[in-house]
Chain A
């Protein structure tokens, strides 16, 4: 059985009286690609934020590669090699695309190596034509790619992608699928997504969130055929 790289036990997040994440037990194996689906407000993004340290969970524990990381600040989690793409693209608008990616690489590499890494990442993601401009002027889909470049430049072993396909056109989504496949060669990947087309094209194991808890977990075909899933998720989406 492959090594477990990410595990949560009884992870719970309350905002006042609202239970956003309820007792979630989650396990992810190395090099696994997992999709999280569920209706809006199911707690997927909150779950992500607890893992990355942007939110401190109310209860429960998080383990990464056997080490407990519960309540670690975000920068410490990231320094362990966790790359995160947030739901709304989080990029540095006042800097160029190159500088955005350079800063991500610089965290783990000396300056010159970071420059090489940034150039390499830009080539891999075909960001060349926009590399010298600011990401502030780009379309949503392109900003997503810039953010993916920042994740990639850090060479993470755990990649968390929150709605990477949002705002992307058909061609972009195809490119994204390739990028995600590429990530799985070196990392375990968790993707939160609404785009069913995209989910079907990449997913193997899918975890369904509903009202903060895990409703079901299983192979993509089985999950999407499940009547309970269809009623909570696909039913509402339609």
Chain B
């Protein structure tokens, strides 16, 4: 039963993704779409950690920025992009494992966790801003202070440093990465590890009394989220072709949280849609001068918290169900209910 559900879901996801990836370039330029896909991945990283792991991390931008900086610095020093891409996943993950272990074994929860992750991001922001001048050099890469690091080797076909992946190809590459990450996240949530993580989110004390090592599991979850954010950061560096301390900014961190809330916390697709949708809105608003961006995102956040606290994804899922269930039902909906709440997010 579970296997059948998984293969059906897999097919559904692949078909939906192929349609979206194919159709969207007719409506929006691939250059813009690329960054929307990257932000979708960044949203998904916090959606996993917060929505399923119950860890409210205010500093997801720290891992995003670290991924981008790691890529830029490594690309300048190494030249070929394959190893820098891998490092951009590994270094934020390693940093998150250390930070997470300190937080979770120190029994910090809720608001303290939020404050510390936020402060870590602000420290990185401050630090990167202060790295102007020739004293701050890693290998051949100057950190460049608030100007950031431009001019690094961008993504190339592995083994062929001269064949760049850019433009439309970068868009398709990013979309494939997002799809892969999405499927990995889905598989993780279906596994026992994912189900236990949701149990920990629901009741940590009970999970501990069942015999589950809560700090270790939360650290792993936190690390997985950071690895995804790091990958998103590396892709962002390739898209923007420059990394600046703004990646670590407070606004960036806040945006990720808003994406998750608006998209739908506790679903997988919600944060992806929230990220892409709100970022596109921000892009459109950026083309006019009448009303400031942050006013609109703030208003959207307030409206969602008040009127649609579950976010968009559950609404879409319900709409989809009411469309598909007009036909005579083949399977009993009762059977789907509780199982899918664990593997979660029918959307």
Binding site for B on A (CB under 8 A): 52-54, 73-76, 78-79, 84, 86, 90-96, 98-100, 102-104, 106-108, 111, 132-133, 150, 154
Contact = CB atoms under 8 A, between A and B. Distances in A.
B206 A92 contact: yes
Interface in B305-347: 334, 337-338, 341-342
A148 to B, nearest CB: 13
Interface in B194-238: 195-196, 198-199, 201-203, 205-214
B29 interface: no
Contacts, number: 85
B337 A132 contact: yes
B212 A107 contact: yes
Given A94-B201, A99-B342, A132-B338, A78 B192 contact: no
Nearest to A105: B210
B338 A104 contact: no
A150 B210 contact: yes
Contacts of A93: 202-203
A92 B338 CA distance: 13
B201 to A, nearest CB: 7
Given A95-B341, A132-B334, A79 B198 contact: no
Given A96-B338, A132-B338, A104 B210 contact: yes
Nearest to A102: B195
Contact of A92 (B202, B208, B211, B334): B202
A102 B334 CA distance: 18
A22 to B, nearest CB: 25
B20 to A, nearest CB: 30
A96 B206 contact: no
A98 B198 CA distance: 14
Contact of B202 (A54, A76, A94): A94
B208 A74 contact: yes
Given A90-B205, A96-B341, A99-B342, A75 B214 contact: yes
Interface residues of B, number: 23
Interface in B83-99: none
A100 B200 CA distance: 11
B342 A95 contact: yes
9 contacts: A75-B213, A76-B213, A94-B341, A98-B338, A99-B195, A99-B342, A102-B195, A103-B210, A150-B210
B203 A78 contact: no
A103 B196 contact: yes
Contact of B211 (A78, A86, A90, A99): A78
Given A91-B203, A95-B202, 7 more contacts: A74-B209, A75-B214, A76-B213, A78-B210, A84-B209, A95-B338, A104-B210
Given A90-B206, A99-B195, A75 B337 contact: no
5 tightest CB-CB pairs across the interface, nearest first? Answer: A92-B202, A96-B338, A78-B211, A79-B211, A74-B208
Contacts of A92: 199, 202-203, 206
Among A94, A100, A106, the most chain B Cβ lie within 10 Å of the Cβ of: A94
A78 B208 contact: yes
A103 B211 contact: no
Contacts of B192: 106, 111
A23 B326 CA distance: 68
A86 B202 CA distance: 16
A150 B211 CA distance: 12
A95 B213 CA distance: 19
A11 to B, nearest CB: 19
A86 B209 CA distance: 9
A107 B213 CA distance: 10
A76 B208 CA distance: 8
A75 B207 CA distance: 8
